Amino acid sequence: MALEKRNITSQKESFAKWYQDVVREAELAENSDVRGCGIVKPYGFKIWKLIKEELSRKIDSSGVEEVYFPMFIPLSNLNAEAAHVEGFSPELAVVTHGGGKELEEPLAVRPTSESSMYPTFGKWIQSYRDLPLRVNQWNNVVRWEKRPRPFLRWSEFLWQEGHTAFATEKAARKEVREMLEMYKDLYEYMAIPSFIGRKSTLEKFAGAEMTTTVELMVRDGKAIQGATSHYLGTNFAKVFDVQYLGEDGDLHYCHQNSWGLSWRSVGAVIMAHGDDSGLRLPPNIAPIQVVIVPIYKEDTRSKVLEFAENLKEELSDFRVAVDLRDDQTPGFKFNHWEVKGVPLRLEVGAREIDEGKITVFRRDLNAKTSIPLVDLSNQVEGLLKSVYTELFKQAKDFSSRHIHRIESIDDINDQVGFFEASWCESVESEKLLKEKFSMVSRVLPREFEDKEPKNEKCFITGEPAKHDWLFAKSY
């Protein structure tokens, strides 16, 4: 049966256009009347909700408590930490009027919450008995984007941001790594492999001592920063007077962290798994895991529809839909659900009922198979696990094949993927790389931290190299 194709540009022709087409055709989001801001539609928001629920479970189980702080921040708070405000000033949205009057002090619309929360931390924390303080909030932030792209870079987006305070640097740094592992596990839940480790001086969070990152390779070979976990040291504690009275009777500054993940993760899922037919969703975060498409003629209509509804009831442990539209052909329906990335499609007609078998289409393989109706729920569960395993394997194989070792900056070419190279880690050399190739360091992988670089000399400057890093163009 021929499928009725949707209007999706091929990845090879234009990956950027393909992405926009999939967001539109899969009914994930659309532009709003405010430039740079988007409207997330129910199907797109459900994907984010399923990601959020899993991450929220992980955060809660780690002992972190939830809070909520205002979205408006006095500009004086933001200006208090010089590196912090410098890092965000190009992206700030500022409110100067409210209630018909000019405000005595302008208010920044939250770009992140360090400068909003930490003055209050200074009030909440008095002694070592109040530590550690570990809170998280789910909220929106605004960072005015010049080149917006759905989910990846909107001027307003949703995320979670964890903020914590500890008595010692050792305890704080331990949590930085634990949160990084949590994010890595979350992306594995989405069948996306990741590269985790430290960011460079140029790429670290404004005001942090150290930034660690989860980097993802998507199907055009570019990188997406999937999440970050920062050790802030005592930088913000000194600015906002976040101190505690220690057991020794002296006052000490708290060591602080912040960590976060946004709905950029939805964009990562689209780009890491999608193909020329649209989305391919891992079952864990698929709004519909199984769609049943009844196929019938007028004389078999009632029989087939009743059977399809019974199947839905039998598969009630999963997220299941039955496509009951009478005004569309089976081919249109097949294409519709393929674009939306539904992991399994069950095709049900009179022949399947009579033979006691169901035709199953797997979106991960774009292939059909046939399964008996006996013990259907367990069979579907097994198939969904297989879909997850296959998507993760495909993504991991793609990442492994597209890491290119280079010895010199002159070796950089148009190959798809990441470049691995030995680097001196200087800010000047990274600026040069960015100017010449629109590329920066993405991550010092954790497995390279304690190893000598493969080359003694930096691939950019020829100076002594410190570590092997991964470099890439990014979103």
Judge whether 163 and 113 are in contact, CB under 8 Å. yes
Confidence at residue 5, expressed as pLDDT on a 0 to 100 scale: 54
What number is the average pLDDT over the span 327-340?
96
| Ordered structural domains, the chain, with CATH | 30-69+118-273 (3.30.930.10), 283-385 (3.40.50.800), 403-472 (3.30.110.30)
What are 44-75's pLDDT values in tens digits?
A: 999 999 999 999 999 999 999 999 999 999 99
Residue 6, pLDDT above cutoff 70: no
Q: What value does the mean pLDDT of the chain take?
A: 96
- Best CA proximity match to 340, nearest among 10, 52, 12, 8: 8
Local confidence band at 89 (pLDDT 50, 70, 90 cut-offs): confident
What are 16-46's pLDDT values in tens digits?
A: 999 999 999 999 999 999 989 999 999 999 9
Confidence at residue 351, expressed as pLDDT on a 0 to 100 scale: 92
Confidence at residue 1, expressed as pLDDT on a 0 to 100 scale: 44
What are 124-139's pLDDT values in tens digits?
A: 999 999 999 999 999 9
What number is the average pLDDT over the span 258-275?
98
Judge whether 138 and 158 are in contact, CB under 8 Å. yes
* Backbone dihedral angles phi then psi of residue 316, each to the nearest 5 degrees: -65, -15
Residue 121, pLDDT above cutoff 90: yes
What are 418-444's pLDDT values in tens digits?
A: 999 999 999 999 999 999 999 999 999
Partners of 189 in beta bridges: none
**Which residue has 């995320």 as its token pair?**
159
What are 137-162's pLDDT values in tens digits?
A: 999 999 998 889 999 999 999 999 99
> What is d(CA 97, CA 94) in angstroms, rounded to the nearest whole number?
9
Percentage of the chain modeled with pLDDT above 90: 95
- Best CA proximity match to 56, nearest among 129, 153, 154, 159: 159
What are 158-173's pLDDT values in tens digits?
A: 999 999 999 999 999 9
Could you give the 3-state DSSP secondary structure of residue 193? coil
Q: What's the one-letter identity of residue 346? A: L
Confidence at residue 86, expressed as pLDDT on a 0 to 100 scale: 76
